Copies of this chain bind each other. A is one copy, B any other.
Amino acid sequence: MADSVYDVVGIGNAIVDIIARCDDSFLSNHGMEKGFMQLISAGQAEEIYADMGPASEQSGGSVANSCAGIASLGGSCAFVGRVAQDQFGKVFAHDIRSIGVTYDTPPVDAGLPTARCLVLVSEDGERTMNTFLGASTELDREDVDLETIISAKVTYLEGYLFDRAAAKAAFHSAARLARSNGRKVALSLSDAFCVDRHRADFLELVRGGVDILFANEKEITALYQLNSFEEAASAVRAEAEIAVLTRSEAGSVIVSGSDTVEIPADRVEKVVDATGAGDLYAAGFLFGLTRGHSLETCGKLGSLAASEVISHLGARPEASLKELAAAQGLLG
């Protein structure tokens, strides 16, 4: 296996989050399921935005957030995802590059604006997301640079990509290339509704196409259509090489062969905004794994990164995760 240039290359939707606080009646009035993500049209985006309170704009996107976290931990990382040639596209490109991620996907000029996600944050910190994919849907196979995939220890893919055929093709092609070059492939199931939409595809991948699976409790139970977390954990243990299962304040469980590693959640004073918790957990875990740490240390790094991001508004780290991890003795 050749030397690696990157610890991780991530492929996902390139999104700017538009974040506002709301009360739960806002969610029910707009027919939103609290804690989930729904895809919306340009028209729906306008309607919801018009009803939202004053907002803050910050770069987002699930795997893009993970890449930002890996860079913040000191890892080398590249991200692939499409923006448009507009102000939000510049914001996205600036933010991911300025945290240290290599980002070379050229912006499209096809009329579709940069993807945006209307994030409603409830009083309890839970977030509900409404995504207009815009230019992100223009991602296709040609955007995925083969050399980049081959040169990364792990190719990390976003389940949300399955919502578009061309992105799904790019996903499969990157995964095959990585594996045939002896690299690892990681997948996030992204969202329980997303799992419902693509269950057969995801099951096939878990059974043969990915090495590391990330899922939260809702997603893993949705994947196997089982009622309990324990049953779902057993099911995935039999199929995935490593499954990383997050359970919010109940911590996380890593299952791999006969190993089971339970990691408590890092305590935070107040969950300000849960956006990005799973993404940053994945960042910490993948960083640890590519640096040869034990599953337990990988999980602790994930827990640390997640706790930083839920303590403030927005899905990207504000503090240096490298410094936080060093202070906890996790960088060995």
A interface residues (Cβ-Cβ under 8 A, vs B): 21, 49-50, 52-59, 68, 86-88, 91, 94-96, 98-99, 113, 314, 316, 318
Q: A87-B113, A113-B87 are in contact. Are A98 and B54 (CB under 8 A)?
A: yes
Q: Name which residue of chain B comes closest to A18, CB basis.
A: B91
Min distance, Cβ A19 to any Cβ of chain B, angstroms: 9
Q: A86-B87, A87-B87, A113-B87 are in contact. Are A53 and B99 (CB under 8 A)?
A: yes
Chain B residues near A98 (CB, 8 Å)?
A: 52-55
Q: Among B53, B54, B68, B314, which residue has its beta carbon within 8 angstroms of that of A56?
A: B314
As for how many copies of this chain the complex holds, the number is 2
Give me 15 other A-B pairs in contact (C-beta within 8 A), A52-B98, A54-B59, A86-B86 excluded.
Answer: A49-B94, A50-B94, A53-B98, A54-B68, A54-B94, A54-B316, A55-B94, A55-B95, A55-B98, A56-B56, A56-B57, A56-B58, A57-B57, A57-B58, A87-B113
Complex: how many Å from CA A96 to CA B96? 28
Q: What are 26 A-B pairs at a CB distance below 8 A?
A: A21-B318, A49-B94, A50-B94, A52-B94, A52-B98, A53-B98, A53-B99, A54-B59, A54-B68, A54-B94, A54-B95, A54-B96, A54-B98, A54-B99, A54-B316, A55-B91, A55-B94, A55-B95, A55-B98, A56-B57, A56-B58, A56-B314, A86-B86, A86-B87, A87-B87, A87-B113
Q: Name which residue of chain B comes closest to A314, CB basis.
A: B56
Contacting pair A91 B57 (CB below 8 A): yes
Q: Name which residue of chain B comes closest to A56, CB basis.
A: B58
Min distance, Cβ A179 to any Cβ of chain B, angstroms: 32
Complex: how many Å from CA A68 to CA B53? 12
Complex: how many Å from CA A317 to CA B45? 24
Complex: how many Å from CA A56 to CA B19? 11
Which of A54, A88, A94 is the most central at the interface, judged by chain B CB atoms within 10 Å of its CB?
A54
